[in-house]
Amino acid sequence: MLRSIRVSILLSFLIISVGLGVLAWRSYELSARLEDGVNTLAMQYAGYAADITARRIDSAVRNGIFDASEEWQQLERKTPNPDSEMLSQWLKSNEWITSAIYVPDSDPTHSIFVSEPPNRATAAAKLTREFYTSSGLVRYTYDPARLVEHVRPVLHQQPLMQRSQSDPQAQLAIVTTPSRHGEARLTDGFTYVAPLAPPLQGYSIRAFVRTAYGTSGWENARYFSIWVSVAALVLTALGAYLAMRGLKREAETMKLRGALIANVSHELRTPLSMIRLGAETLKRSSKLTEKQRAEIEDAVLREVLHLSHMVENVLDVARIQNRSTKALAFTPVRPRDLLTSLISTYESWIKSRGFEITVQIEEAVDEQLWDRDAVERAVVNLIDNAVKYSGDIKFIAIALRQVSDHVVIEVRDRGIGIASTDLSRIFDPYYRAQFSDTQTRRGAGLGLTLVQQIMVSHGGRVEVESTPGIGSTFRLLFPRESSRVAEPLPALNVLPEIGSRS
Ligand code: ADP
């Protein structure tokens, strides 16, 4: 049954995990595909942007050169005999031209030469061009770098589309001597370098398109989806672990309850069969001597008392459990009186079991607000255990004292003791240490659980010191403040204890 529950829970977690895994894999695949698509687009866009811009720059260069010759020819048409002033005016309006010479067809010896002022002249490599006019020839030298500057405004036009000035889709630049033309992948995007046509063949246009997938980390949707999936898987595994742990605990509790029922039925059966046997013997055997008859009557009476005590115990425990959410009935109690009357009730029983008993009760112990029945039950449980878990040395010491902030009731024995590994668990419901002589030490493993619960409800605690083979000391520590507010009794997840007395 439990096994099948475990399998079905694990199976559902497995299905969830597989589902999450598939989801993670699909989202990874999709984002990878998306990224591929975006990359292809970005690469193509960089190529188009570089090529188109390069062609635009080429045509701007051609236009610049053409416009310069047009401008001269217009000047020449207005002033048929060009002089050096006209030539320098022309030079000034085309700032990329560094020097020019005009050679008239009619008289080449009257050529005019103009050069820009020496402070503007640069050492950069110059190129030469010439063109014929209606009356002569103009040859000029120009600085290609300045020609580049002249056409640079073309870069501001986004080649295909533009969303906004601050967010261009391609970043364009004019570069010199690029290491190579064509496309290149960078960590955060793509570049494409397209060469310019002569005369600016030493220059190229470089377009850069940034992609959102370039980096790793949170901003990368692909890695983000993977991390989210990993976190979901971890949480699922945690859920599975918690469910399994809960199930394991439940299984342990069920196992312990099984043991309890076995114990309870055994504890009930033994006195009942002894009573029946005694009663039958008394009824059938007429030849019994007076002494034998008295012995049987005593045995029957002992078992009846034992049985009624057990039943009372069960009913008491059930009563406590039923009113677990309410406070106990706290009334003023004299600890000294409580303990004295308890010991006088149980003394003969303890002694009949062959025990030596010493009692140390302090005179001055203040009156306390206790639930009398509950405290008695706790002490009886401790005495019962001391009797049950003693071997050859049969000794019990009971003490009551008052210290600065506690009233302490102590029950000490020289019995079998408790192994240190068991010490932390003896207060757990149904927990019993392993005994080689289990039959003689019957119990349900609930006594100390109840003792602890009773102490908690009184705002106190139980202390235990024990050495295997030497003996155990249990101490009930009650807080001394009589004005203490009673705490509700914590719910006990236990079945009523039956027959802790053997
Ligand atoms: P039960 O006595 O019915 O088994 P308890 O809750 O009273 O249940 O005790 C739990 C366990 O603690 C016992 O089974 C026993 O192993 C151990 N124990 C309790 N009191 C003593 C004691 N005085 N000496 C040795 N072991 C003890």
> Which tens digits make up the pLDDT trace of 250-259?
887 787 667 6
**The pLDDT value given to residue 468:** 93
Determine the straight-line distance between the first and last CA of the chain, rounded to whole angstroms: 35
Q: Is 386 in the pocket of ligand 1 (CB under 6 A)?
A: yes
Mutate to test the pocket of ligand 1, among 263, 379, 385, 411 (most ligand atoms within 8 A of CB): 385
Q: Ligand 1 centre from 385 Cα, in Å?
A: 6
Contact (CB, 8 A) for 127 and 142: yes
Q: Is 444 in the pocket of ligand 1 (CB under 6 A)?
A: yes
Mutate to test the pocket of ligand 1, among 261, 418, 428, 501 (most ligand atoms within 8 A of CB): 418
Q: Ligand 1 centre from 11 Cα, in Å?
A: 41
Kindly indicate the confidence band of residue 119, based on its pLDDT and cuts at 50, 70 and 90: low
Mean pLDDT of 425-439: 73
Provide the 10 A C-beta neighbour count for residue 381.
Answer: 23
**The pLDDT value given to residue 214:** 47
Q: Is 383 in the pocket of ligand 1 (CB under 6 A)?
A: no
Highest mean pLDDT among 10-14, 110-114, 473-477: 473-477
* 155 Cβ contact list (under 8 Å, min separation 6): 53, 57, 172, 173, 174
Least confident of 132-136, 251-255, 334-338, 347-351: 251-255
pLDDT of residue 171 exceeding 80? yes
Q: Is 432 in the pocket of ligand 1 (CB under 6 A)?
A: yes
Alpha-carbon distance 351 to 372, whole Å? Answer: 24
Alpha-carbon distance 249 to 59, whole Å? Answer: 84
Residue with CA nearest ligand 1 atom 23: 386
* 473 Cβ contact list (under 8 Å, min separation 6): 410, 411, 412, 413, 464, 465, 466
Owner of token pair 């600016």: 200
Q: Ligand 1 centre from 17 Cα, in Å?
A: 45
Q: Is 443 in the pocket of ligand 1 (CB under 6 A)?
A: yes
Q: Ligand 1 centre from 328 Cα, in Å?
A: 25
Q: Ligand 1 centre from 329 Cα, in Å?
A: 27
Residue with CA nearest ligand 1 atom 12: 426
Mean pLDDT of 146-154: 90
Q: Ligand 1 centre from 344 Cα, in Å?
A: 23
Of the chain, the percentage scoring pLDDT greater than 70 comes to 81
pLDDT of residue 490 exceeding 60? no
**The pLDDT value given to residue 36:** 83
Kindly indicate the confidence band of residue 310, based on its pLDDT and cuts at 50, 70 and 90: low
Between 423 and 118, residue with greater pLDDT: 423
Closest alpha carbon to 373 in 415, 340, 342, 402:
342
Q: Is 418 in the pocket of ligand 1 (CB under 6 A)?
A: yes
Between 215 and 411, residue with greater pLDDT: 411
Alpha-carbon distance 150 to 94, whole Å? Answer: 9
Ligand 1 atom closest to the CA of 432, numbered from 1: 14
Ligand 1 atom closest to the CA of 390, numbered from 1: 24
* 375 Cβ contact list (under 8 Å, min separation 6): 333, 338, 409, 454, 458, 476
**The pLDDT value given to residue 370:** 92
Residue with CA nearest ligand 1 atom 7: 447
Q: Is 447 in the pocket of ligand 1 (CB under 6 A)?
A: yes
CATH class of 292-479: alpha beta
List 200's β-bridge partners, or say none. Answer: none
pLDDT of residue 334 exceeding 90? yes
Helical packing angle, 2-78 and 84-93, nearest 10°: 170
* Cis status of the peptide bond prior to 198, with omega within 30 of 0: no
Three-state SS string over 81-116 comes to CCCHHHHHHHHHHCCCEEEEEEEECCCHHHCEEEEC
Q: Is 499 in the pocket of ligand 1 (CB under 6 A)?
A: no
pLDDT of residue 120 exceeding 90? no
Residue with CA nearest ligand 1 atom 14: 432
Least confident of 118-122, 153-157, 432-436: 118-122
Closest alpha carbon to 314 in 401, 416, 444:
444
Kindly list the domain boundaries of the chain, sorted by start residue. Answer: 1-215, 292-479
Q: Ligand 1 centre from 453 Cα, in Å?
A: 15
